[in-house]
Every structure is written in C-alpha cells, then in structure tokens.
Amino acid sequence: MFKRGRWNIKEGKEIPKQIGMIVVKNGKLIGMEMAGHPDTFNAVKAQLYQKYAIDLASTGQKVEVDVKKVMTDLLIELRDGHVEMGDSSQNIGGQNVFVETPELRGSFFQRGNLPVFVSIVRK
Amino acid sequence: MSKDISKREGKIAKDGTGMKVYIKPEEAQKAGIALGDNVSVVVNPDGTITIKPAAPPNLYEKFLQNAIDGGVEFGDPIEVGDSYVIPILTKSEQAMPRDYITVPEAIAMGQLRFTDTGGIQGVHVTNTGNMGVLVLQGQVFEGATQPRTIITNMILAPNQDVVLPARCVHSSHPINANAKMTIAGMSPRNVSFSLMTPQSKVDQQRVWGEVGCIMGTCVTVVKSFKDAGVVFNTDVWHGSNDLTHAMHEVGQAAMFACSNVDAGILRREKKFQNR
C-alpha cells in the first residue's frame, strides 16, 4: 500500500486532481494544506513541501497511517477550538478565519463561502 | 445591578420585547461592530453590558466533516522518511476557472514587484497584472535586505499597490529600504504556527523564537544524515538565525536525502550513538 516517493521538493511529484496534502508523523497529523483549486495547489506545492521538509527529514516513530482515523481525530480536536475572524486590515480580497486549540492552529481563507486556501498545523 | 441610573443607556422597547441599547457609530467601529452584524451581549455583575462581535461559526467542523464524508478523495499515503504524506484529491472532473493566480505564477509572468518598506512589519507589493494574486500566510520574501514572512492570506486585486503585513525572520540582518525582494519559499511549520492568528496578535519575539527552534532542529537533522554516511553538502551552526539558509540549503538537501535514503539507516545510526 505504501509507496516510497522520490520527493525532490524542487520538482515535486504531480498527482492528477491533487488539491492538498496531509502530513502525518508519529501517527499524528502535523499539517494539512488544501487549496480551492488544483492549479493553485500545483503552483505552490514545492513551497508546501518545503514547509514540512525538516519534519519529514527528522526521524520519528514509524506508525502506519489510517487516513479516516487521522481525519476523525482532527475533527474532534478542532471541534472545541476557539474560532476568530481575521482583523479587518488583513482581510484583503477575502476573509481569514482562524482556529486555535492547545495543540493546533488553522487559517481558513475564503471568498464568499468558497475556500481559497486552508492550512492547519500542529504546534 | 448598578443604582446609578444616569449611567444607564439602555431603554425598554415600547413593544415590551426587550431592551434597546443605543451605541454611537464611532464606538461601534472601535468595538469592531458594523451595521447588521450579529453580536454577543453579556450582562456584567456591575450592571453594565459588554457587546462584541459574535463568535463566528466553527466552519472547520463543517469542512472536515464534509471531507470525511467523501467530499474529497484521499490518495495512497506516500512514505517519506519516517512520515507519510497523503494527497487530497478533488472529486470534480473539471475545475472551475480561477480569477486569481499564485505568487510563483505571477512572478513568472512578471506582474509582481516586491520592495522593502524600510519598516520591519511590511513588504511593499505592486500587482501590475490584470489577474488577482493569492499571497499565502508564511510565504517568505528575501533580497539585499532583511527577509520577512507574510502574516496573512490575501488576494491582491489587479493593479493594486499595497503594503503586506509581515514579520522579520532573520533578526540580525539589517533592513535596506526600497531593496527589491523576491519569494524565497514558505516558512517551516513551527514558524507558520506562530503566524496563524489575527494580525494584531502575531508576536515578533515569538516568530524569532520559532526561527531559533527550527535552526536547532536543522543542526540535528544535518548531523544525523552526516553520521549515517549520507553525502550532505551543506551545514548549519548552533546560534544561527538565518531562516532562509535553513529553507534553501538544509530543507532541500534534507528532503532530497530522506527521499533517497532508507529511514532505517538513520534510526540504526541513532541507536548506535545511544549505546
């Protein structure tokens, strides 16, 4: 099931219809990045891999991953998060909505009700 | 409740449905309340009431539940070192056209100009194109000046000229006003974490602290690769605060190495060192 990727972040690896990614380390989600459009994700994916490069390169505990469980755990963690709107000065061309729990922070950038970019990271 | 009636500004509505409170427009503006906004009202023990913008609904809950319920697809997990990257895929066969592009695309098209404002908290950007440009929180800009990270997501309008709110990511580097800047990449996860809050709460000291932390991790990563016999043509030293060096050199080299080296080698090496 698991593939060994050749993840040169300069080149990336093109996956058709990809709009985001989840990064899991030690069995826990450490980051989720999702764009509202595949072209947007493709254009910034090298930067997003760079964001997690040191995490991926450092050693950890190898735990096989169950995507549904990872997502459900994330939902439970964020359910009671403190949600806050971005300051008016930072809402240029869209609106930022932030969430914070003791371990996670997220930014949800939307226009109208359409997500443009969502990022959730662990402390 | 307070007995000082002269301080009360609320009045019972004539139709008996409740109390109306009259607030001056300038006071409402200070509290971040606009006409038609939902607000929360709290009656305090001293008889005063606090009115503030209502907490927004937790849209993350709806978003994640939708993803779990099949709103998106997940690709096979890809093993990278000891971790996994799981692609998220859209279910739409054909994506709607975008009316904006990203910073890397806009730079490639020559429609963005970045310059240093001369102030630590801003990068001046001019979008000369006829497409909006999506700037992402955590993107780092560098040049012959102090590198900065952008602290908010935004879409610049066509032909817009604006100062992007930013924080410094190399504390010992001097600022050179009007220096040209370009994109260096994205802040590492822990630095990005410190930015993900309303702009007024992004603390420069904390950002510098997180830069220091990631530099420390870089030292460990570089050492573990070198100890394991992996050719690693870059270095980082304790006490460095140059984030762009970590991003460019260490991040890319580490990523390349961990995708081509069995992570077990690194773990075995670690065990050996611990004996």
| Residue contact A50–B266, C-beta within 8 A | no
Residues of B in contact with A38 (CB under 8 A): 90, 95
Residue B257 and residue B162 in one domain: no
Helix (H) or strand (E) segment spanning residue B275: none
Assigned domain for A110 exists: yes
Q: Which amino acid is at A103?
A: E
pLDDT recorded at residue B136: 97
Domain range holding A88?
20-122
Contacts of B166 (CB under 8 A, 6+ apart): B120, B121, B122, B123, B141, B148, B149, B150, B151
Nearest to A122 by CA among A78, A68, A72: A78
pLDDT recorded at residue A11: 46
Interface test with A, best of B76, B136, B214 (most A CBs within 10 A): B136
Q: Which of residues B184, B204, B224 is at a domain's end? A: B204
Minimum-distance CB partner of A48 among B137, B153, B186: B186
Assigned domain for B35 exists: yes
pLDDT recorded at residue B16: 67
| Residue contact B197–A120, C-beta within 8 A | no
pLDDT recorded at residue A87: 82
Nearest CA in chain A to B156: A93
Q: Residue B11: pLDDT above 80?
A: no
| Residue contact A97–B84, C-beta within 8 A | no
pLDDT recorded at residue B57: 77
For residues A55 and A46, what is the distance between their CA atoms, to the nearest angstrom? 15
pLDDT recorded at residue B260: 59
Q: pLDDT by residue (tens digit) across A24-70?
A: 998 899 999 999 999 999 999 988 988 988 888 887 888 888 999 99
User: Which of the two residues, B95 and B79, has the higher pLDDT score?
Assistant: B79
pLDDT recorded at residue A60: 81
pLDDT recorded at residue A64: 85
Q: Which of A28-37, B120-129, B203-212, B220-229 shows the lowest per-residue confidence on average (mean pLDDT)?
A: B220-229
Minimum-distance CB partner of B88 among A21, A74, A122: A21
Percent of all residues in chain B with a pLDDT value above 70, rounded to a whole number: 83
Assigned domain for B94 exists: no
Q: Which of B148-157, B233-242, B259-268 has the highest mean pLDDT?
A: B148-157
Residues of A in contact with B79 (CB under 8 A): 2-5
Q: Which of residues B176, B204, B232 is at a domain's end? A: B204
Radius of gyration of chain A (CA): 15
For residues B61 and A32, what is the distance between their CA atoms, to the nearest angstrom? 14
What φ, ψ does residue B271 adopt, rounded to 5°? -60, -45
Assigned domain for A43 exists: yes
Using DSSP's 3-state secondary structure scheme, residue B260 falls into: helix
Residues of A in contact with B161 (CB under 8 A): none
Assigned domain for B141 exists: yes
B223: left (phi over 0), alpha (psi -120 to 50) or beta: alpha
Q: Residue B18: pLDDT above 80?
A: no
Q: Residue B266: pLDDT above 60?
A: no
Residue B49 and residue B67 in one domain: no
- Domain total in chain A: 1
Q: What is the CATH number of the domain that holds B17?
A: 2.10.260.10
| Angle between helices A38-51 and B252-260 in degrees, nearest 10 | 90
Q: Which amino acid is at A88?
A: S
Assigned domain for A15 exists: no
Q: pLDDT by residue (tens digit) across B51-74?
A: 877 777 788 988 899 889 988 999
Minimum-distance CB partner of B196 among A17, A25, A106: A106
For residues A74 and A65, what is the distance between their CA atoms, to the nearest angstrom? 14
Contacts of B131 (CB under 8 A, 6+ apart): B99, B100, B101, B106, B111, B158
| Residue contact A40–B134, C-beta within 8 A | yes
Minimum-distance CB partner of A71 among B64, B102, B190: B64
| Residue contact B247–A109, C-beta within 8 A | no
Interface predicted TM-score of the whole assembly (ipTM), two decimals: 0.91
Distances (CA, A) of B28 to A84, A85, B19, B34, B136: 18, 17, 18, 7, 31
Q: Which of residues B153, B183, B204 is at a domain's end? A: B204
Q: Which of B45-49, B65-69, B130-134, B150-154 shows the lowest per-residue confidence on average (mean pLDDT)?
A: B45-49
Assigned domain for B24 exists: yes
Q: Kindly provide the b/e burial profile for residues B38-49, where b requires at least 16 CB atoms within 10 angstroms of the residue's own CB.
A: eeeeeeeeeeee
Burial (CB count <10 Å: 0-12, 13-18, 19+), residue B196: buried
- Domain total in chain B: 4
| Residue contact A19–B72, C-beta within 8 A | yes
Residue B85 and residue B116 in one domain: no
| Residue contact A94–B218, C-beta within 8 A | no
Residues of A in contact with B85 (CB under 8 A): 5, 7, 21-24, 52, 56
Residues of A in contact with B29 (CB under 8 A): none
Assigned domain for A7 exists: no
Q: Residue B252: pLDDT above 80?
A: no
| Residue contact A7–B80, C-beta within 8 A | yes
Residue ranges in chain B assigned as alpha helix (H)? 25-30, 59-66, 103-108, 189-195, 204-227, 243-245, 252-260, 263-274
Nearest to A56 by CA among B53, B31, B211, B82: B82
Q: Residue B1: pLDDT above 90?
A: no
Q: Kindly provide the b/e burial profile for residues B150-174, where b requires at least 16 CB atoms within 10 angstroms of the residue's own CB.
A: bbbbbbbeeebebebbbbbbbbebe
Q: pLDDT by residue (tens digit) across B163-215?
A: 999 999 988 889 999 999 999 989 999 999 999 999 989 999 999 999 988 88
Q: pLDDT by residue (tens digit) across A91-120?
A: 888 999 999 999 999 999 999 888 999 999
Residue B107 and residue B147 in one domain: yes
Mean pLDDT of chain B: 82
Q: Residue A84: pLDDT above 50?
A: yes
Q: Residue B274: pLDDT above 60?
A: no
Domain range holding B75?
59-89
| Residue contact A20–B72, C-beta within 8 A | yes
pLDDT recorded at residue B216: 84
Residues of B in contact with A91 (CB under 8 A): 154
Q: Which of A106-120, B118-132, B203-217, B221-235 shows the lowest per-residue confidence on average (mean pLDDT)?
A: B221-235
| Residue contact A85–B95, C-beta within 8 A | no
What φ, ψ does residue B95 adopt, rounded to 5°? -75, 145
pTM of the model: 0.82
Q: pLDDT by residue (tens digit) across A62-72?
A: 888 899 999 99
Assigned domain for B95 exists: no
Task: Work out the pLDDT band at A22, boundaries 50, 70, 90.
Answer: very high
Using DSSP's 3-state secondary structure scheme, residue A70 falls into: helix
Q: Are B192 and B137 in contact (CB under 8 A)?
A: yes
Q: Residue B273: pLDDT above 70?
A: no
Task: Work out the pLDDT band at A5, boundaries 50, 70, 90.
Answer: very low
Residue B104 and residue B183 in one domain: yes
Task: Work out the pLDDT band at A13, boundaries 50, 70, 90.
Answer: low
Minimum-distance CB partner of A68 among B63, B68, B260: B68
For residues B257 and A9, what is the distance between their CA atoms, to the nearest angstrom? 11
Q: How far is A1 from chain B (nearest CA, A)?
A: 7
Task: Count CB pairs under 8 A between chains A and B.
Answer: 298
Residue B79 and residue B122 in one domain: no
Q: Which of A13-17, A21-25, B220-224 has the highest mean pLDDT?
A: A21-25
For residues B141 and B146, what is the distance between their CA atoms, to the nearest angstrom? 9
